[in-house]
Structure 1
Amino acid sequence: MNDYLVAILLGIVEGVTEFLPVSSTGHLVLATDLMGYDASRWAVFNIAIQPGAILAIVVLYWRTFMAVLTGLLKREPNSIAFVRNLLIAFVPAVVLGLAFNDQIEALLENAIVVAWALIVGGVAILIVERLAKTQPVGGIAGVSAIQSAKIGIVQCLAMIPGVSRSGATIMGAMTLGIDRRTAAEFSFFLALPTLTGATVLQMVKHRDAITSGGLGLIAIGFVVSFIVALAVVKGFMAVVTRHGFAPFAWYRIVAGTAALFFLYNH
């Protein structure tokens, strides 16, 4: 298949899955493996197109960003708490990401790990959905510093491809008693520093591979993931409000099982 078509397909996968609790990285790994492509060749591409999905959050929540920025200039407590919580939650990913970067990259080529992680993560979501007792906390600013640190630690589970960064942070927040909507939005906003940091690290580390012909493909994947993510995030909040996270859990279990069947019989 033509490389540009592959870039478009992977951009769609990234845009659809980045903010859903189904693991975008896991789906990108499975997509390259199940379609017969060299996962190691596309690993950097998969990370480099993540800013497209990040930009979608900036566009969709631009009023929130402007309100926080204005609040910071006025030293408003809510705006300060908003930024503080995201920075606290971001720190564990920085520490572990830098410490175990090589090991994490090795896992990105293992589709079997992804499939099992999808299944286990799906079961975990069903358990949390049934047992977690949540209540409104007044948005991200209403989350405590300690809760933010715990969410950041849980987010690190997503360094295992297939676990899902959004799934880990959302379920972690709900386990701490934070309501669904705030948990989802915390995950969205935490993605900005987390995914930006991961992207910059990989692009610096693999800059030779990118500049030797990959920039065009990355640009295509970036644009496609941005457009798709715009539509998906809106739909995601509607589904969560009405049905919770169970539909995504069952999808993970079915997708992971199907992937295992294919991988072991291919």
Structure 2
Amino acid sequence: MPDYLIAFLLGVVEGLTEFIPVSSTGHLILLGHFLGLESAGTFDVLIQLGAILAILLVYFQRLVEIAMALPRDRRARHFVLSVLFAFLPAAVIGALAHDFIKSVLFETPMLICIVLVLGGIVLLVVDKLEFKPRYHDVMDISWPAAIGIGFCQCLAMIPGTSRSGATIVGALLLGADKRSAAEFSFFLAMPTMVGAFTLDLYKSRNDLSLDQGVLIAIGFVTSFVTALFVVRRLLAFVSQRGYSPFGWWRIAVGLLGAVLLLTVG
């Protein structure tokens, strides 16, 4: 397969899966493995920027409104601190365990398949539970709940878990309704992805090369466009359909990947 088609495909997968609870990292690693790619490290890091910019664009007006309200609105200050508190556990643990995660966990495709299936089962179970949500607006999520969601996010350091999946399930269990859980996951993605991107970019600085410029541009643009579509549609989708479709998708991908690993290698 030509390199530009691979770049396009990886960009589409990154954009489509980054903000839904199916694990973009797991999908990219498995896809790269079966396409016979070497670890795409730097390329994967740079195309993530497309997804980051997509969510910042969608929420730009909301972010400006919150920033303008900070000096006079206690609720806005409460929300910003909630997101920061939720971000801290992953920031600390991710920085300390970065090299182990990248060198060991990211190089184990079968582990990713197993985690995809287990995470899919968790989503199916959680989606069927009858919760009595305490938070119907993302701005009202309490600081203890936010910190709990932040620790749940740390589970996503195991590839295949899904950052959005871990935070959404955590938010549901801690009292958010389905829409607020997804929206808090979006807001938490902003500092988390920017932090991870910055750290990965710093760690990969010696691998950067202009030779891949065109391929990176293709992956970046396709990641941005597809992530833009997902972010704009996801809240309405989960409000109507819940998270079961993503659970079934995870199980299907995990089982298919495991079968291919055992038969093809």
TM-score bracket for this pair, using the shorter chain length? over 0.9
Shift in alpha-carbon separation, 1:164–1:102, aligned structure 2, 3 A: same
Give the secondary structure class of the aligned counterpart of 1:49: helix
The amino acid of 2:100's aligned partner reads Q
TM-score by length of structure 2 reads 0.95
Aligned to 2:193: 195
> Equivalent residues in 2 for 1:223-234 (5 A)?
223-234=221-232
Instruction: Give, in angstroms, the shift of residue 136 of structure 1.
Output: 5.3
Report the Cα distance in structure 2 between the residues aligned to 1:247 and 1:134, rounded to whole angstroms.
Answer: 22
Partner of 1:150: 148
Q: How many residues align?
A: 263
Tell me how far apart the structure 1 counterparts of residues 187 and 68 of structure 2 sit (CA, whole Å).
17
Choose which of 164, 172, 175 in structure 1 pairs with 2:173.
175
Q: Distance in 1 between matches of 2:123 and 2:46?
A: 28
Whole-angstrom distance in 1 between the partners of 2:198 and 2:213: 14
Q: Provide the rounded CA distance (Å) in 1 between the counterparts of 2:209 and 2:90.
A: 27
Q: Distance in 2 between matches of 1:3 and 1:233?
A: 27
Q: Distance in 1 between matches of 2:130 and 2:213?
A: 44
Q: Name the structure 1 match of 2:10.
A: 10
Instruction: Give the 3 Å change call, closer, same or farther, for CA 18–109 of structure 1 in structure 2.
Output: same
CA-atom RMSD, angstroms?
Answer: 1.4
**Does 1:242 pair with 2:236?**
no
**Separation (CA, whole Å) in 2 of partners of 1:203 and 1:82:** 29
* Identity among equivalent pairs (%): 45
* Alpha carbons of structure 1 residues 197 and 216: separation in structure 2 relative to 1, 3 Å: farther
- Which 10-residue stretch deviates more, 109-118 or 157-166? 109-118
Match of 1:109 in 2: 107
Q: Which residue of 1 aligns with 2:93?
A: 96
3-state SS in 2 of match to 1:242: helix
Provide the secondary structure at the position in 2 that maps to 1:213. helix
CA distance in 2, matches of 1:138, 1:119: 30
Q: TM-score, normalised by structure 1?
A: 0.94
Amino acid at match of 1:26: G
- Looking at structure 2, the residues matched to 136 and 59 of structure 1 have their Cα atoms a distance apart, in angstroms, of 29
Distance (Å, rounded) in 2 between the aligned partners of 1:75 and 1:202: 37
Matched letter for residue 13 of structure 1:
V
1:153–1:132 distance in 2 versus 1, CA, 3 Å: farther
Cα distance per residue 1:15-52 (max 9 Å; x no partner): 000001000000000110122212x2x02321221121
Aligned residue for 1:108, secondary structure, equals helix
